Amino acid sequence: MTDFKSAKELLVLCGKERKISEVMRQRECDFSEAAPEEIDGRMRQVLRIMRESAAAAIDAPVKSMGGMIGGEAKKLNRFQSGGRSLCGPVIGRGITFAAAVLEVNASMGVIVAAPTAGSAGIVPGVLLALQQEYDFSDDRMVDALFHAGAVGYLAMRNATVAGAVGGCQAEVGVAAAMAASSAVELMGGAPAQSLDAASTVLMNMLGLVCDPVGGLVEYPCQNRNVAGVAAAFTAAELALAGISQLIPFDEMLDTMYQVGKRIPYELRETALGGCAASPSGCRFCR
């Protein structure tokens, strides 16, 4: 029975030839007792929903339930089409897709929680942007999603992905770690480089609070998903360039968890502090 409790164990299972995505796919097959074709079919469904949610709000913007967001993805797309983008085509598409998914989520559309609804834009934002830029097949994208799942699984097993427990670092931070790690494999990096990228993301987002205005997963959640995409790309770039991490992913994950438990409860999804308690945030809620 294939399983791993830590990133260290995951790397041992990878050995010299296996990819993280291969190990995670085998784990899913073993635990579900399903054939690889069935497991892959489920992940293709995930990819389909991600693609649809990333495109929907660009084509037809919808105002969120709370009225705080809606139309941002279309504005980003229009701006980038004008040739003035500061981010370039890959990051530009990534942040647009991320913003779009959060708009779909906030208007009660169908998304994939990756790992949560509040951080659902980052994994599709990064991976779909890379697919468009480099023309990766859907098979390669399915592999990338299995890889992302392995990182999310480690976070859920050894720490948390809930903003109410660990702040937004546990939601957007883990989502960006999943995206960065899978992007490294997609671009030909080694398993150890992938986990270095995941560690870098958590380090850079350490201490990020969860303070949704009005208690709704709209604002500043959408902005932080966009920032999470950028963080994922920069961490992946560092890893692919051969820049290793001093602190391994297992230790960084534990560090994130310990920091999260020390964040005041007002800053852990209660809408009692941070942006939610700002004068403008309070006025909007009234």
pLDDT of res. 64: 96
Query: Confidence class of residue 1 from pLDDT cuts 50, 70 and 90?
Result: confident
pLDDT of res. 237: 98
According to DSSP, the residues that pair with 210 across neighbouring strands are 268
List the Cα angle 236/240/244 in 5-degree steps.
Answer: 90
pLDDT tens string 20-45: 999 999 999 999 999 999 999 999 99
Looking up tokens 């592999």, which residue turns up? 143
82-95: average pLDDT: 95
Distance of CA 81 to the CA centre of its chain: 25
Separation of alpha carbons 151 and 191, rounded Å: 11
Two tokens at 123? 């994994």
Two tokens at 251? 């230790």
Average pLDDT, rounded, for the chain: 97
Whether 194 shows a pLDDT value over 90: the answer reads yes
pLDDT tens string 203-256: 999 999 999 999 999 999 999 999 999 999 999 999 999 999 999 999 999 999
Two tokens at 196? 């270095």
